[in-house]
Amino acid sequence: MTKKLKILVVAGDGIGPEVTGEAVRVLRSVAEQGGYDFQFREEPIGGVAIDAHGTPLPESTLKAALDSDAVLLGAVGHNKFNALPPSERPEAGLLKIRAELGGFANLRPSFAWPGLSQNSPLRPEVVEGADILFVRELLGGLYFGHPRQWDKTANAAWNTMRYTRDEVVRVAKVAFDLAQKRRKKVTSVDKANVLEVSQLWRATVTEVAKEYPGVALEHQYVDAMAMHLMNQPRSYDVVLTENLFGDILSDEAGVITGSLGMLPSATIGGKVNLYEPVHGSAPDIAGKGIANPLGAILTAAMLLRYSAGLEEEAAAIEAAVKKVVGEGARTADLARGAEKPQVLSTTQMAAKVREALAVRTGASVR
Ligand code: NAD
């Protein structure tokens, strides 16, 4: 168990600072209650970094990230930079920090929070009880394969979906290790009826599965998976995908939760793990104090789980979120009908989570 943790906070733009500020307060409560030494350092990324340093990922931010035990990121992006070429925009800082930290496994939980099933576009009886963890390969496949080109004279363009066996083995092991601690099932997604790269993927995952006799493995074609995920989300535990399929399916699975503001993520396996809520900088609500901080707070729970080995504390944060949401606490994005007059601000919602956490140990709330 890690007692000391250097956490770099790169809050970024828009609602990034609002929600990461609350995630940090939750982490401080955990440190205080458990007697841990969490050290926080803040550095700019995205639009605020362009304003201050002329670049979306200053060297000083990258250096601090590489020198930390974990990076907690808010969100990047601001309309005022839309005229810049993509390589100079705030989002370029995000892509660069992800690449430099080098995580190859992107973890995206999709959980049907009790009390929020009405918020999903799917019927409550379909989503209730769903608890899925996507493990998406992040550094290979179509997004990185060569050759890649848009040949304008030939009016043709091409990309390459390429995987090596080793790339599949390492991400498959992450999925099976995680499944061992959950409900012991891995669903591997591919298109092995058409793509050779998927045939390699399927053969390799099947081979890795032999090292995990206690974990059940099933294979699903990506097209069928897109349908089953909406029809029977409860039947999945860990879902293992290559890069492109995971990009699409993990977003699709986000609808189970009912709000973008509830979704956390972690990218692990590189030099330093990177933790970020799934949502963006939400310029339409930035500065209003109404953003949902729960995605960022749940991201902090993932940080404790995967970078500090503090499973009990991570689970306690998730239980606190479950409790407050179950009791009807709602930020504006979650409120429906009669709940709307009682909506909570970002800080009020986060305070409820800290209160629920403190009740666990009888600690005081800050
Ligand atoms: P977005 O996720 O910022 O917002 C989409 C919608 O969801 C908006 O209506 C927003 O108000 C709402 N929303 C998002 N998070 C919320 C929260 N925590 N609480 C309540 N409501 C929330 O996506 P977008 O509008 O497409 O993009 C806005 C900017 O963010 C763009 O510049 C985009 O490039 C950037 N972006 C960044 C990331 C990231 O940093 N990881 C991800 C996606 C988009």
> Is 69 one of the catalytic residues?
no
Strand partners, 131: 111
Q: Judge whether residue 201 has pLDDT over 50.
A: yes
Ligand 1 atom closest to the Cα of residue 291 is 19
Query: Given the structure tokens 């306690």, which residue do they identify?
Result: 316
Ligand 1, atom 27: closest residue by C-alpha? 280
pLDDT digits (tens, 9 = 90+) for 339-361: 777 899 999 999 999 999 987 65
Q: Judge whether residue 70 has pLDDT over 90.
A: yes
Confidence of residue 2 (pLDDT cuts 50, 70, 90): low
Q: Of 186, 167, 28, which is closest to residue 104 (Cα–Cα)?
A: 167
Q: What is the 3-state secondary structure (H, E, C) of 226-292?
A: HHHHHHCHHHCCEEEECHHHHHHHHHHHHHHHCCHHHCCCEEECCCCEEECCCCCCCCCCCCCCCCC
pTM (2 d.p.): 0.95
Catalytic residue among 247, 275, 306, 333: 247
HSE at residue 202, side-chain half, CA atoms within 13 A, is 16
> Is 251 one of the catalytic residues?
yes
pLDDT digits (tens, 9 = 90+) for 19-43: 999 999 999 999 999 999 999 999 9
Ligand 1 atom closest to the Cα of residue 79 is 32
d(CA 101, CA 138): 12
Residue 366, pLDDT score: 45
Ligand 1, residues at Cβ distance < 6 Å: 15, 19, 75-77, 91, 94, 260-261, 276, 279-285, 291-292, 295, 333
Contact of 123 with 233, CB cutoff 8 Å: no
Upstream peptide bond of 147 is cis (omega within 30 degrees of 0)? yes
HSE at residue 176, side-chain half, CA atoms within 13 A, is 21
